[in-house]
Amino acid sequence: SRGLGDVYKRQINEGVNLAEIPAGGTRIPPKSLESTASDQFLFKMEGQKIYKLASKYLPDFFYGALKKYNFNLDDFQMVVPHQASQMGLGLMRRKLNIPTEKFFINVEQYGNLVAASVPMALHELNEAKKIKDGDKVLLACTAAGLTLGLLGIQL
């Protein structure tokens, strides 16, 4: 496969504390906390707030990227998003006006596989022969905080 442009990305800092492990490392080393504060070492995520933040920024980000590289959604045979949650993906698909048949979701089988979700989805599409040589695929990634990334590839 080959890239169809640079990775288009944006870091949105207002969500920096919405998904985190507050303690650990040198900022709050384990020895500095009482045992009653052990929950500070657990992953915390405010999913609804992250979804609202993504809803606010994702449409302009998504269509801005397509415009920057002179593409439109019809140029792509498939959109492969980060598999965060089935409900969130369905809402985003509708918000972005992407047809169901072009928007791949497999989170119901595997759950959120974090960074592995997009390559695993791409592999599954390839194995099922739902994509083929020459197809253009749009990879849509998100990360905690909120970081948005979009990359078009041609197989």
Q: What SS3 string covers the chain?
A: CEECCCCEEEECHHHCCCEECCCECCCECHHHCCHHHHHHHCCEECHHHHHHHHHHHHHHHHHHHHHHCCCCHHHCCEEEECCCCHHHHHHHHHHCCCCHHHECCCHHHHCCCHHHHHHHHHHHHHHCCCCCCCCEEEEEEEECCCEEEEEEEEC
Identify the bridge partners of residue 78 per DSSP, sorted by sequence position. Answer: 137
**pLDDT tens digits for 17-37?**
888 888 777 777 766 666 556
pLDDT digits (tens, 9 = 90+) for 98-107: 999 999 999 9
pLDDT digits (tens, 9 = 90+) for 55-64: 899 899 999 9
Q: What is the pLDDT of residue 35?
A: 56
Name beta bridge partners: 7. none
Write out the two tokens for 93. Answer: 């698909």
pLDDT bin (cut points 50, 70, 90) of residue 16 is confident
Query: Would you state the structure tokens that stand for residue 65, as one six-digit string?
Result: 């990227």
For residue 70, the model assigns a pLDDT of 92
pLDDT class of 85 with cuts at 50, 70, 90: confident
Neighbouring-strand partners of residue 142? 148
Mean pLDDT of 115-119: 90
